[in-house]
A and B are shown apart, each in its own frame.
Chain A
Amino acid sequence: MRRFKDSIYKWIFTALAFASLIFLLGIVIVLFREALPALKTTGFLDLVFGKSWYPTYSPPEFGILPLILASLWVTAGAMAVCVPLGVGSALYLHELASNRQKAILKPAIELLASIPSIVFGFFGMVVVAPFLQETFNLPTGLTAFTASLILGIMAIPTIASIAEDALSYVPPSFKEASYALGANRWQTLTQVVIPAAGSGISTAIILGMSRAVGETMTVLMVAGGAAVIPHSFFEPVRPMTSTIAAEMGEAATGSPHYAALFAIGLILFLITLVFNIVAEIISKRYRMKLGLSR
């Protein structure tokens, strides 16, 4: 009887486990299935390299290139903000912060990572955009630059937190050996600790990047929304995520516009997939290198 009960539980867990896997698999299937018509009618190359996005005109044009480039620009800009600040903060926490500082700052940064993106978008819209517009005398404060800045600030806690973890995994013996050889703290940090934690830090950066590419509400609110191939950081752009969010309500089920939005979703999915796989590979190697593999 007990054995029987035991196997029932096993089956329940198996069933629920597969149910959740089916849900998650469902996302991939739905994305591919619904994006397929767009790939068929417009053609993969015309879709990805098409230069005009006029989904509601007749005849409509579905060129995603301006949206892809906008996402890349904004992400690159965000990286320029959050990589130095995030990694720098992690290094400070690791090397310079006293125990007391660390006990406060580390959880504080983890806490800040949970601020909802809508709050960042709101802040960008009411404070940062008007400020930048006045300071640089721009036609509008809602630009690729504003979006980059806000996204960058948003990704700092993520990067700082993961990078600090990576630094703390470096065995103390590395440092001690370096000190014993007469290197000072800065030399030890830059020549020994950072290279040793390098792949862990790259994982942090890639995950931050993945977050910036996929971020929706912030860019929807502050990027301006013009579907043009970007020429300058101080012009409005329309990244992929905000296009989906702005248009998915008006595209009728099964229409070409609907399929094109799913195609954008698919491209986003593939981009973040590549980022995550690269991060996974790097972090795996890193653990093996430091003898931490489980």
Chain B
Amino acid sequence: MNVLKKTAFLVCATMLATVINGMGADGKIVCEGSTTVLPIAQAAAEVYMDNNSGVNISVRGGGSGVGATSLIEGRCDIADCSRAFKDSELQKAAAKGKDPKAHVIAMDGIAVIVHPSNKFAELTKQQVKDIYTGKISNWSALGGDNAKIVVVSRDSASGTFEAFGELALKGAKVRPDALMQAANQGVAGIVSRTPGAIGYVGLGYITPSVKTVKINGITASRETVLSGKYPYSRPLFMYTDGQPQGKVKDFIDFILSAGGQKIVEEQGFVGLK
């Protein structure tokens, strides 16, 4: 191991010499996690950097789980999460001497979408659960046409998946043959092309080519999400290790400001005010 370490440091030294070391480390923010929060973080970083030339923000996706792990392992400064940290993650964080602090930066509703040709305009929470767990696998069981239900889901690294699992499935398992998509865009794409499909996406991803169904009679909209009436609504988080300081605090404050919340709305999410 010693040889290994020495060689690695040698290489490290040469590389540091070749790459010009321009700015100090404090002008740098690494932001990583949920693909739902990604567009907000990315767009906000762009505007923020326009106004603060000394700061370098790097934004990465991967999923809420990736963000949480990354914060715990000390690989990032801000973990984007579309769900709260799980108990297991909090325990791991404590074990590594980290103290995750949550900052709600926006609200999001998870809309249930179907193909535009689908007859259903409304489903109950129970029906959605039955469809996703595999109890119901044909639209005829709900009184619709005799067509197989194609279940589209997000993959397990995604916070939307976790949030949906919690809000809609109460922890039950998604049927294993569901099409697992790495991103909201993928879910919306499949549902828009597939007559029998059902999927769920963040509010920002509803396009004219899919149909949004009411849940328990309530439409997913800005108002119902902010008021908490819509059953599948959730806050979006940015987590930091301890109270944020310096540039990190400044960046989060920017997102919470009027200008930042405007970006949130532009990206299709619900601003906090």
Contacts and interface: CB of A to CB of B under 8 A. Distances in A.
> Direct contact between A and B in the complex (CB less than 8 angstroms)?
yes
B176 A227 contact: yes
A22 B4 contact: yes
Contact of B179 (A56, A140, A249): A140
A152 to B, nearest CB: 23
Interface stretch (B61-69, B99-107, B253-261): B61-69
B63 to A, nearest CB: 6
Interface string B1-19: 0011001000000000000
Given A19-B3, A55-B156, A250 B180 contact: no
Interface residues of A, number: 33
Nearest to A15: B3
A139 B196 contact: yes
Contacts of B150: 139-140
Given A23-B4, A58-B88, A250 B196 contact: no
A206 B162 CA distance: 41
B171 to A, nearest CB: 8
A226 B157 contact: no
Interface string A50-72: 00101111100000001000000
Given A235-B177, A249-B62, A26 B4 contact: yes
B69 A250 contact: yes
B177 A251 contact: no
Given A26-B4, A133-B193, A140-B194, A238 B179 contact: no
A65 to B, nearest CB: 12
26 contacts: A18-B3, A23-B4, A55-B156, A56-B156, A56-B162, A57-B171, A58-B88, A66-B176, A139-B150, A139-B190, A139-B194, A140-B179, A140-B190, A142-B179, A225-B179, A225-B181, A227-B180, A235-B177, A249-B62, A249-B63, A249-B69, A249-B70, A249-B157, A252-B69, A252-B72, A252-B73
